[in-house]
Structure 1
Amino acid sequence: MSARTARTARTARRTRLFAATTVALAALALTACEGDTSDTGASAPAASSSSSSPAGAQSESPTGEKESGNGTEGNGSKETNGSAGSTGSGSSGSGSSGSGSSDKSDKGSAAGVSDGSDSDKPGKCSASDVKITAKKVSRPLNHLLLTATNTGSKTCMLPQYPAARFGEAQAVPPVAEATKPQSLTGVEPGKSGYAGVLLSSGDGSGENGYETNTLTIPFEDGSIATVALPAGGVYVDTALTVTYWQTSMDDALGY
């Protein structure tokens, strides 16, 4: 091979090597460009999505409820301040229910509602607020009707029976147990209670009889009522008996 031919061959090899090198470099550059483009393309949509959503835009939560961009709705979302009625004024929460019972208690006290104490019960009658009168009746024979009228301003309770003292008698007459009512007799202002008195036996079997024109009846508080007897007085003997105080005149004269 001549020197000229050898130079020509070397030149051809260099040309082919340069071309191959150029192709390889171009391929590497293309690969690098595709890699940059792929990375940029993956992150770009997220940035675009984030930036394209307005600060106040609404999105749906997993439960289907709409939430604002910052996680609350206005000044108090369901997640932040709770549902209506659980807290805050204007609800029917704990504050109003507590005050309701207090108001009722105050109103009850102001209205003077009875608490069932002894102060609400009628007191015992006294000679100062009860007037007793005595009247002879034609039937039953030898009977006297006592009427106790409440002249006071409050209802009061009469004693069980009138402990009547006729004249100078040292003892009070016995009471007819058959006439005992279920409870004490109370008399309202202007109302009356009644008691019957058997003065003497009708068949003359009584003893130690005497005439008298005075009658006194004591009350449980120590006061004593003086009762005016019918004109001419009354005759009493050992048959003298009284009934319990009754609310009915007929019951008082039934013995």
Structure 2
Amino acid sequence: MAYTARSRRTTAVLATLSLGILALSACNGDADKDTSAAPSTAASSSAAGSDAGADAPSTAAPGDGGSGSGTGGSSGSGGSTPSSEPGADDGQDGGVGMCETADLGYNVTVASRPVNHALLTATNKSGDACLLPANDLVITIPGLDGASEHMGPAGKDWMLKAGERAYAGILFSRADTAGGKSADKVEIALTASESPTTVPIDDGPVTVNDGQVTSFFGTAEDALTY
């Protein structure tokens, strides 16, 4: 009987020890769960902060090397837009000199209308742009005294690019003036200080009793209006 009582006490002690071990294991397990969960929360917070920083606009000034400077550089790298204003010469005004008589080629043709007129066509053959003196054109008709007078409105000096043409109208005879002389050429100079060049009159000769000339124009129609 003593053996049986001792056995029961031993069994009870062992059961109590087993329950304590289970309880302790359970507590350690909960602590492990809390400890393992903490890094996950911290990592999530770190990731969220990183994403927010990527979406935020850059405050770097152009040239600081920030992401915004690349965009600024791209928008400012375009070439300047060329000017569309009349008379624009791509910024070359400072290097353009006055046209000289020898810079241009000339053609004088009798006009069908108006009567007693001829059309002067001047072409820039120099290969470079030059400023054309609009009001200084000197036309001399052999057989008449002095240079032709100017008629029509005063013009304005303008740039004649290489290969471009300018036009002037020449009146060589008045219908209300009797008589005249025959002429088959004219002498042309852009200014009175230059030596003239002699140009034949296409479809000539013509009868001359007067001499008048317009300023230079950009079209033949304008030149023959006066």
Q: Which bracket does the TM-score occupy, shorter chain normalised?
A: 0.5 to 0.7
Amino acid in the other structure paired with 1:198: L
The count of aligned residue pairs is 186
Q: What is the match of residue 104 of structure 2?
A: 130
CA distance in 2, matches of 1:97, 1:119: 33
**Aligned-pair RMSD on alpha carbons?**
4.6
Amino acid in the other structure paired with 1:176: G
In structure 2, stretches of 5+ residues that fail to align are: 1-25, 59-64
Q: What is the match of residue 150 of structure 1?
A: 124
- TM-score, with length taken from structure 1: 0.51
Secondary structure of 1:78's match? helix
Q: Evaluate the alpha carbon distance shift between residue 196 and residue 95 of structure 1 in structure 2; reply closer, same or farther with a 3 A threshold.
A: same
Alignment of 1:68 onto 2:43: no
**Residues 210-225 of structure 1: matches in 2 within 5 Å?**
214-218=186-190
Q: What is the match of residue 194 of structure 1?
A: 167
CA distance in 1, matches of 2:191, 2:71: 49
Kept after mapping to 2: 8 A contact 1:218/1:224: no
CA distance in 1, matches of 2:118, 2:225: 12
Kept after mapping to 2: 8 A contact 1:134/1:145: yes
Q: What is the match of residue 82 of structure 2?
A: 114
Amino acid in the other structure paired with 2:166: G
CA shift for structure 1 position 153: 3.9
CA distance in 1, matches of 2:70, 2:194: 51
Instruction: Say which of 183, 194, 208 aligns to 1:235.
Output: 208
Kept after mapping to 2: 8 A contact 1:132/1:146: yes
Secondary structure of 2:197's match? strand
Secondary structure of 2:173's match? coil
CA distance in 1, matches of 2:120, 2:161: 17
In structure 1, stretches of 5+ residues that fail to align are: 1-44, 59-66, 89-93
What is the percent sequence identity of the aligned residues? Answer: 23
Q: What is the match of residue 173 of structure 1?
A: 149
Deviations 1:112-132 (A, max 9, x none): x53788653574544344212
Kept after mapping to 1: 8 A contact 2:177/2:209: no
Alignment of 1:103 onto 2:74: yes
Kept after mapping to 2: 8 A contact 1:159/1:184: yes
CA shift for structure 1 position 198: 1.3
Q: What is the match of residue 203 of structure 1?
A: 176
Kept after mapping to 1: 8 A contact 2:188/2:198: yes
